[in-house]
Amino acid sequence: MLRRPRRNRKSEAVRSLIEETSLSVNDMIFPMFLVAGSNHKIEVASMPGIYRFSIDLMLREIEACMKLGIMAFDVFPAYPETLKDSIASESYNPETFYLKALREIKKNFPEICLMSDVAMDPYSSDGHDGLVKNGKILNDETLEILGRMSLAQADAGVDILGPSDMMDGRVGYIRGLLDENGYSETSIMSYTAKYASAFYGPFRDALDSAPKFGDKKTYQMNPANSKEALIEADLDMEEGADFLMVKPALAYLDIIKLLSENYPLPIAAYNVSGEYSMIKAAANRGWLDGDRAMHESLLSIRRAGAKVILTYFAKEFALLSK
Ligand code: PBG
Q: Which of 194, 216, 280, 315 is catalytic?
A: 194
User: What's the Cα-to-Cα distance from 24 to each of 68, 155, 304, 318, 322, rounded to whole Å?
Assistant: 11, 31, 16, 8, 11
Residue pLDDT, tens place only, 122-162: 999 999 999 999 999 999 999 999 999 999 999 999 999 99
116 ligand 1 Cβ < 6 A: no
142 ligand 1 Cβ < 6 A: no
Q: Is 106 tagged catalytic? A: no
Arithmetic mean of pLDDT, 108-120: 98
- Could you give the dihedral angle defined by the CA atoms of residues 60, 44, 269 and 152, in that order, rounded to the nearest 10 degrees? -60
Q: Is 194 tagged catalytic? A: yes
Residue pLDDT, tens place only, 27-60: 999 999 999 999 999 999 999 999 999 999 999 9
Residue 11 pLDDT:
98
User: Residue 222: what residue type?
Assistant: N
pTM value is 0.97
Domain boundaries, the chain: 19-321
Q: Which of 208, 220, 218 is nearest to 84 (CA)?
A: 208
CATH architecture observed for domain 19-321:
Alpha-Beta Barrel (3.20)
Residue pLDDT, tens place only, 268-322: 999 999 999 999 999 999 999 999 999 999 999 999 999 999 999 999 999 999 8
Distance from the alpha carbon of residue 39 to the mean position of ligand 1, in angstroms: 25
Arithmetic mean of pLDDT, 10-16: 97
Residue pLDDT, tens place only, 53-102: 999 999 999 999 999 999 999 999 999 999 999 999 999 999 999 999 99
Residue 142 pLDDT:
98
Q: How confident is the model at residue 209 (pLDDT cuts 50, 70, 90)?
A: confident
Which atom, in ligand 1's list, is nearest to the CA of 117? 6
- Please give the Cα distance from 194 to 270 (Å, whole number): 9
What count of Cα atoms within 13 Å lies in the side-chain half-sphere of residue 173? 19
| Ligand 1 atom 3, closest CA | 200
Please, which residues have CB within 8 angstroms of residue 25's CB and are 6 or more apart in sequence? 68, 69, 70, 71, 314, 317, 318, 321
